[in-house]
Structure 1
Amino acid sequence: MTPTTEAELAQMIAGANGPLRIKGGGTRSIGHVEGDEVCTAALSGISLYEPGALTIVAGAGTPIAEIEKVLSAENQRLAFEPMDHRFLLGTTGDPTLGGMAAANVSGPRRISVGACRDFMLGVRFVDGHGTIIKNGGRVMKNVTGYDLVKLMAGSYGTLGVLTEVSLKVLPDVETTGTLRLHGLTDRQAVQALSAALGSPFEATAAAHLPKGPSGDPVTMLRIEGFEASVKYRAGKLQDLLKPYGGADFTTGDGAEWAAVRDVTAFADQPGNVWRISAKPSQAPELVAKLDATTVQYDWGGGLIWVLADAGRDLRAALGDFDGHATLIRGSVDAPTFHPEAPALAAITDGLRAKFDPRGILNSGIMC
């Protein structure tokens, strides 16, 4: 089913006799969902773009590439640089605005500017009753009552089907530079990244690859802004990082950060892919427990991508820790998403009972 209007979508949901599987561009096939497919691809198009107000409004089925092209023409961008899952998951199609918002997809710049949800100004969606709901608007801090915008971000279509999203955008940058440290252990790398991120010199991304492009460890920091500022901050960070062996510095288009964002090192590699959120200081210790094939640290160590043998539930190896592990690719006899604490699970169940009492929207994906 491919509704062409919001009203048509509402009728489909209201009249559904069984589970519905919500699909946008089909690029983020995470988890296993049963049901009749409802595709939002036809709910597409940019309805409002005001460069001066740094605001864009578009249908949920609008391809991200289309939005980025329009923004680029005005020297603007989606500051949270959403990940493209196609490389990692081996999917086709076009990533869409609705899928990005529903999964709260955010890239390396999340540590400096925030996540996708922090740039969402407003949403329109259809809940499990078939009711059309609007929340938020076109400016920041305009929500009274419940902030359903933040609630929908990361709900993976279990509370409602997005039809429209309003976003705040930011100007693009003049210069991008990257600092690289070589040969550090995981623990040393996280310490170096933490030192840089705790400084006043504004790194916008921080990653560590235990096996870099050359096969040796490489630790990277990104700096963005006006050329003079980038060079000044790079020099200060090079001084700061001398205890870790020093760092080289280059400027360029930042293509290597797209590889970090999309975890392309894991593409076409056999095994399960896990996404682990943890305290950076605990990340090397957690990774040491996993006997992983390949690892990538992002967000200064706060986000760990792990490629492991198929069939292994890494949560058992991790034990109790202050974070969560999500199975992004592969299958094991375990939930896709990390089990919630009882108090949080009760809140989640209560929300679903209100927004989707029949349990028909992407049923099972977050259980």
Structure 2
Amino acid sequence: MIADIPSRAGLAPASEAELGALIADRRSSGQPLRIAGGGTRTQTDHVPGEALSTAALSGVVTYEPGEMTLIARPGTPLDEIETMLAAEGQAFAFEPADMRGVLGRNGAPTIGGMVAANASGPRRLLAGACRDHLLGVRFVDGQGRVLKNGGRVMKNVTGLDLGKLICGAHGTLGVLTEVALKTLPYLPDRCTLGFHGVTAHEAVAIFSAALATPFEVSGAVFRDGTAWLRVEGLGPQLGYRRDRLLGLIQTREAEVLDATATVTLWRELRDLAHFAGSDAPLWRILVKPSEAPAVAGALAALGGVFSLDWGGGLIWYCGPGTAQEVRGITRHATLVRRGGLTGPAFPPEASAVARLSAGLRQVFDPAGILNSGLMDQ
């Protein structure tokens, strides 16, 4: 029972067994829990229930640089893990963003929060999302059951891949206790091509041309009238790819940034520094790249500003507009920073998808106690 669990500030179970006992007790009493990692990815202040922190479930279980695999507990600070990987010349290929500036938070991003949110930055268009690098998970579901799936290599994933369900579920199906991830070498050199004075239509045309080549563009972002293309790799072949891209897009003169300037620029683009320090609503919108200019233009007509990522597949919109107005332009809009807006943060699901989601929650959290309403409010 809950009385047998040691008292701490808030709820911060120190072991998987303790977490399971706590959730089982809350399930029997129907008391909701608000899952909290570092509190730096999703605004959950409106979610009912006492906060359950994963901070005490911290530490790297194993890291094998030669196998490029990492297993860590969910409360492990992401900065510590990235520093450890960098010492071995490795990194997470999907480039998770640091959202503290955007959300005005000062907590420490955790690896569990990264997986729960499927956090994936500009390099997603080349390397895939966080869930594509997830090898396995352990978690406690809403019934207090300890479940595990996957392993340390991709071939060990058999049957239903629960990691794909947990990754991006924002804690509504279970609370992570371990995650296993694939790491990749950190490419030693990089450069950026900047095409200034372009419209969103022209930027998407540049992106489409560049991404249709075999030159492995690892970033394609449009912001404030500039289309940015990033390439990364080894020195000699990097120069070849850069020159071929410059030759491909001859209608525009390009600024070429060196490796140091590239690192600085893409950290700012990744972390949405251009939208930090504001209280205005911020929306994350998924679209077809070919539709991005028209959708972004309609959003800008509401009075705000936007940027494009993933070659036009992702729009960030910051500014005025009710949820009804924004989703009237494009339904696939998630409210990342509320800015005073109320109502569902996540876009409404199609009826068939909604039935599947409800069925999954009935299996993993039948009492509806884990981050209750987060995906619906």
Q: TM-score per shorter chain, which class?
A: over 0.9
Question: Paired residue for 1:207?
Answer: 221
Q: Residues of 2 paired with 1:4 and 1:339: CA distance?
A: 36
Q: Residues of 2 paired with 1:99 and 1:325: CA distance?
A: 21
Q: Residues of 2 paired with 1:38 and 1:229: CA distance?
A: 49
Q: How does 1:249-288 map to 2 (within 5 A)?
A: 249-253=256-260, 254-288=263-297
Question: Paired residue for 2:255?
Answer: 248
**Pair 1:300 & 2:307 matched:** no
Give the AA of the match of 1:250.
L
Question: Paired residue for 2:7?
Answer: none
Give the AA of the match of 1:39.
S
Verify the 8 A CA contact 2:55 2:76 in the aligned structure 1. Answer: yes
Q: Residues of 1 paired with 2:81 and 2:371: CA distance?
A: 26
Q: Residues of 2 paired with 1:173 and 1:89: CA distance?
A: 30
Q: Residues of 1 paired with 2:298 and 2:152: CA distance?
A: 46
Q: Residues of 1 paired with 2:257 and 2:239: CA distance?
A: 10
The match for 1:235 among 227, 240, 243 is: 243
Compute the displacement of 1:68 (Å).
0.6
Q: 1:14 to 1:318 in 2, by over 3 A?
A: closer
Verify the 8 A CA contact 1:289 1:317 in the aligned structure 2. Answer: no
Pairwise CA RMSD: 1.2
What SS does structure 2 have at the residue aligned with 1:53?
coil
Superimposed CA distance per residue, residues 67-106 of structure 1 (whole angstroms, 9 cap, x where no aligned partner): 1111011000011110111010000111001100000000
Verify the 8 A CA contact 2:34 2:48 in the aligned structure 1. Answer: yes
Give the AA of the match of 1:313.
T
What SS does structure 1 have at the residue aligned with 2:239?
helix
The match for 2:370 among 332, 356, 361 is: 361
What SS does structure 2 have at the residue aligned with 1:105?
coil
Superimposed CA distance per residue, residues 289-336 of structure 1 (whole angstroms, 9 cap, x where no aligned partner): 122422111100111111112xx3255345365x61000001424310
**Pair 1:10 & 2:20 matched:** yes
**Pair 1:154 & 2:168 matched:** yes
Stretch moving more, 282-291 or 343-352:
282-291
Compute the displacement of 1:145 (Å).
1.4
Gapped regions of structure 2 (runs ≥ 5): 1-10
Q: How does 1:325-336 map to 2 (within 5 A)?
A: 325-330=333-338, 331-336=340-345
Q: How does 1:54-65 map to 2 (within 5 A)?
A: 54-65=68-79
The match for 1:110 among 118, 124, 149 is: 124
Give the AA of the match of 1:91.
R
Q: Residues of 2 paired with 1:283 and 1:188: CA distance?
A: 11
Stretch moving more, 263-272 or 276-285:
263-272
Verify the 8 A CA contact 1:315 1:325 in the aligned structure 2. Answer: no
Superimposed CA distance per residue, residues 104-124 of structure 1 (whole angstroms, 9 cap, x where no aligned partner): 000000000000000000000
What SS does structure 1 have at the residue aligned with 2:35?
strand
Q: Residues of 1 paired with 2:256 and 2:276: CA distance?
A: 27
What SS does structure 2 have at the residue aligned with 1:200?
coil
Verify the 8 A CA contact 1:47 1:58 in the aligned structure 2. Answer: yes
What SS does structure 1 have at the residue aligned with 2:316?
strand
Question: Paired residue for 2:36?
Answer: 23
Give the AA of the match of 2:308.
Y
Compute the displacement of 1:255 (Å).
1.2
Q: Residues of 1 paired with 2:205 and 2:127: CA distance?
A: 21
What SS does structure 2 have at the residue aligned with 1:91?
coil
The match for 1:218 among 212, 226, 229 is: 226
Question: Paired residue for 1:76?
Answer: 90
Question: Paired residue for 2:106?
Answer: 92
The match for 2:325 among 316, 319, 323 is: 316
Q: Residues of 1 paired with 2:121 and 2:254: CA distance?
A: 23
Percent identity between the two aligned chains: 50
Superimposed CA distance per residue, residues 146-192 of structure 1 (whole angstroms, 9 cap, x where no aligned partner): 11011100000000000110000000111010000010011001111
Q: 1:48 to 1:317 in 2, by over 3 A?
A: closer
Q: Residues of 1 paired with 2:312 and 2:336: CA distance?
A: 18
Question: Paired residue for 1:214?
Answer: none
What SS does structure 1 have at the residue aligned with 2:47?
coil
Aligned length: 357
Provide the TM-score with structure 1 as the length reference.
0.95
Q: Residues of 1 paired with 2:336 and 2:67: CA distance?
A: 36
The match for 1:130 among 144, 155, 169 is: 144
Superimposed CA distance per residue, residues 238-286 of structure 1 (whole angstroms, 9 cap, x where no aligned partner): 011112x132212213211011111011111231000001011101101
Q: Residues of 2 paired with 1:236 and 1:314: CA distance?
A: 43
Verify the 8 A CA contact 2:47 2:373 in the aligned structure 1. Answer: yes
